[in-house]
Structure 1
Amino acid sequence: MFFVLSGFLITSLMLREKVLTGTISLKTFWKKRARRILPAAATVLLVCAAVAGFFQGDVTVDLGRQVLTGLLFVNNWGQIAASQSYFAGPELFAHFWSLSVEEQFYVLWPLVLVSLLAAVGVRRMGIVVVACTVGAVSSLARMVALYAPGDDPTRVYYGTDTHAFGLLLGAALAAWLIRTRDDERVWQPRPHTGAGRWAATTVELVGLVGFAMLITCLRGDNPAAYQGGLFCASLCMIAMLHGAIKSNPVITTLFTLWPMRKLGAVSYSLYLWHWPVYVFVRSSISDAALAGLVALALSLVLAEVSFRCVEEPFRRKGTSRWDVACSLRTPADPWSELGCS
């Protein structure tokens, strides 16, 4: 889910800058991403590494490697190199694998996009859509090719090459949805009318239902996950995201509920804290259900504190990744409420 959303928002941000200014400042882009992501990530890594000293057992195993690869955003490859199984005893910072994939995308994709736009021009968004789609399908093909049923799937699940399709599908959606107007040179969502609107609405609702079904059945030990299931989940997320932007009443109502808006605001901090907190709590509480509830409560508190004391002060110095979503819609649109504040 977050891969698709990140690919969409980051690509939208860069494409908008290209149209409005005629260029994409890679230095500014990377500086803003670092300001947005590094402070909170470093805080969680250092605080949790310090707290781990008070615990015994598996919590401290390979802690130095975990912190180093987390700070360098190569955690996914670090776990692969260390033969750390996705199903083995949980590492304290195991969840940093996905953040590492995103950060690697943030480094490489702007270079590719700038080169692509230089070659084809900003008005030929269809080529960008095709390039992103080909890249996504290639990533899926590599996942399917490397996956061997019965073997540990860690390599295909953690690999940047095998799990980039969500990011690239999000990027394809960003290029597809927007068009330029010669008179004002601003991005406009592509309109739907008549039968096209009904077809889009149907696809969006199917995506919502399909996503809910897939996330309940695509467990890590399910071969279908690596044989197209995760890719289908990303496609469902694309449909949901399209519905949110196009103001599908069902999807926008869901996404603009207060709990969803609140979770959207603190989602990054919540993601960073939830897993190490659970590992700490689980090492002290034997009952899994109780440990989960305690960890959830603690994670929500820590996420709120981290959001207010770490994320927000740094965010005020630059543009957050949600600003581009706000810029795509008018302030009165419900989509502008989804995590944009």
Structure 2
Amino acid sequence: MRAGQDLNLHNADDHICYLGYNPTLDGLRGIAILLVLFHHLWPWEWSTSLTTIITRISHISWIGVDLFFVLSGFLITGILLDARHRKHYFRNFIVRRALRILPLYYLFLLICFLIIPYIFNDMDLKETSLDQVGQNVFWYVFYASNYIWMLNEPVFVDLVGIDEFRLAVKSPEFLGLTWSLAVEEQFYLVWPFVVFVFWKKLPGSIIGIILCIILLRLFLVSTIENWADATYMASICRADSLMIGAGLAVYARSTAFRPEIWDRFAFTGLWLCLPAVIIFQLVFPGRQTPFFSVLGYSLIALGFAGLLASVLRNQQSLLKVIIQASFFRWFGKYSYGIYLYHMIVWFLMQKLINAELAADGSPIHGEIFNPIGGSMLIDAPVRMLLTVFLTVAMAWLSYHCYERHFLKLKRLF
């Protein structure tokens, strides 16, 4: 069932808020995954007078994850609202989500914990100490990796007594990216119950939840040592992005829906909130400022919700035409696989063709330094494009040879 499949669309002055399946949403997913790829794969240390601006922009393109959150909140809430009176409400939703998410996720974990360590042993590259990370496989298997930061947070270690579970080493990046998947999976488990029980009071509930999350982030910033990780990765701190997307879905289905209010929100989010956050991040890069950790994530979500609201209008604006381009929609279709695979490909490339330098100019992976083409000016873009190509190929094969067989089972639910 697609979101909004059997909705009553709201008409007012011939303006229609389209709630059904929309190819534009695939385009937005494509933009989100391309932002994430740009953030992870553009070499931060590689900067010339021609690339300084690009490098600076790559520092803030992590916001692609927040676009995913807003889209998930909007789409999942729409599905739940449309199905709330149907038989097997909980079973159908949980099983359909599981068929979409779990097969690829656990294949990814199998690669990370079994196949990659074997390759490392074969290459005699053990400095990553994946065997030690494997001792904490529980956090990844049960979608709790976004709370691993607590294992090294003094306040929680003393309060709960979890010192014996502390990670011996930091998780490699290709495992670290699972934090956002954990946030969404926890949302999928809790939100259906909230929608089913409180669907008549969702607007007020969503506003209250968002305000509580902002206050919680303020409390954490002023209380714990590791507040930057906590406010960025903990589900209870990042649910505001999901809630803002959910609020958009609720209002789109409300009898109080007014096109002019929708358009004002779209303009405010897209042309005020989003540019303000981007400018702030360009001036004060990173997520380590208290002000940004308290309010920044909510402003990003409002900005992307404004973008979503704008492209959902039934009008052929230039922005909508661009987002609907087949290039973005293609990346959106395979975005889940691309997200999971890209850091594995990048990590292995760094191991096999070592050209990554530390801030002091020394090679990060041993003494071998072998940039592609013999020059970092050639290596950086070639390595990035090669990684994208291999990642996309893996995601395409994974979808058509593996994931698709599970997705066919969704029709039974």
TM-score, L = length of structure 2: 0.64
Q: Could you tell me how far apart the structure 2 residues matched to 1:256 and 1:314 are?
A: 27
1:135-184 per-position Cα deviation (integer Å, ceiling 9, x unaligned)? 1221122122212599542222221111111111111111111136xxxx
Indicate the residue corresponding to 1:306 in structure 2: 398
Preserved contact between residue 61 and residue 91 of structure 1 (Cα < 8 Å): no
Q: Which amino acid aligns with 2:138?
A: L
Distance change (3 Å), C-alpha of 1:250 and 1:157: same
**Alpha carbons of structure 1 residues 313 and 286: separation in structure 2 relative to 1, 3 Å:** same
Aligned sequence identity (%): 24
CA pair 199-114 structure 1, distance change in 2 beyond 3 A: closer
| 2:270–2:304 Cα contact (<8 Å) kept | no
* 1:64 corresponding residue in structure 2: 134
Opposite residue 287 of structure 1, the aligned amino acid is: A
By how many angstroms is 1:305 displaced? 1.2
Residue aligned with 2:254, SS: strand
User: Can you list the C-alpha shifts for 1:6-62, whole angstroms capped at 9, x where unaligned?
Assistant: 1111110010112xx456611111111111100011111112331232122216253
Structure 1 residue 205, shift from structure 2 partner: 4.1
- Residue matched to 2:108: 44
For the residue of structure 1 that corresponds to 2:236, the secondary structure is coil
Q: Is the 8 A contact 1:140 1:163 kept in 2?
A: no
Shift in CA distance, 156/260, structure 1 to aligned 2, threshold 3 Å: same
For 1:81, the equivalent position in structure 2 comes to 151
Identify the residue that residue 143 of structure 1 maps to in structure 2.
Answer: 217
Query: Is it true that 1:26 corresponds to 2:90 in the alignment?
Result: yes
Change (3 A) 1:110 1:253: same
Deviations 1:66-110, CA, capped at 9 Å, x for gaps: 54322211111234325689xx67343101111011111111111
What is the alpha-carbon distance in structure 2 between the residues aligned to residue 297 and residue 243 of structure 1?
31
CA distance in 2 between counterparts of 1:308 and 1:214 reads 41
CA–CA distance in structure 2, aligned partners of residues 24 and 236 of structure 1: 35
Contact 1:208-1:236 at 8 Å conserved across structures? yes
> In 1, distance between residues paired with 2:148 and 2:249?
31
Query: Which residue pairs with 2:204 in the alignment?
Result: 130
AA at the equivalent of 2:246: A
Deviates more, 1:75-84 or 1:130-139: 75-84
2:182 match: 100
1:241 and 2:311 correspond:
no
Structure 2 residue identity aligned to 1:110: P
CA, structure 1 residues 295+61, in 2 after alignment: closer, same or farther (shift >3 Å)?
A: farther
After TM superposition, the structure 1 stretch with the greater mean CA deviation from structure 2, 156-165 or 141-150, is 141-150
Q: Structure 1, unaligned stretches of length 5 or more?
A: 118-123, 181-188, 320-341
Counterpart residue identity of residue 106, structure 2: A
How far, CA to CA, are the matches of 2:95 and 2:324 in structure 1? 30
CA contact (8 A) 1:218 1:229 kept: no
Which moved further from structure 2: 298-307 or 203-212?
203-212
| Higher relative contact order, chain-length normalized (CA < 8 Å, sep 6+) | 2
Give the one of 226, 242, 245 matched to 1:170: 245
Quote the residue 2:79 is aligned against. 13
AA of the residue aligned to 2:218:
V
Q: What is the 5 A alignment of 1:281-296?
A: 281-288=349-356, 289=380, 291-296=383-388
Give, as a single letter, the amino acid of the residue that structure 1 aligns with 2:95: K
**Aligned-partner Cα distance in 2 for 1:46–1:278:** 18
Q: Tell me, which stretches of 5 or more residues in structure 2 are unaligned?
A: 1-66, 154-165, 357-379
Which stretch of structure 1 is more off in the superposition, 129-138 or 263-272?
129-138
Contact 2:263 2:309 survives alignment (8 Å)? no
Contact 1:59 1:280 in 2 (8 A): no
Q: What are the within-5 Å matches in structure 2 for residues 267-286 of structure 1?
A: 267-286=335-354
1:300 CA displacement: 1.4
* Cross-structure match for 1:228: 295
Partners of 1:109 and 1:197 lie apart in 2 by 24
Q: 1:218·1:224 contact (CA, 8 Å) conserved in 2?
A: no
TM-score by length of 1: 0.77
Q: Distance in 1 between matches of 2:223 and 2:279?
A: 22
Aligned positions, number: 298
The structure 2 residue matched to 1:254, chosen from 322, 326, 350, is 322
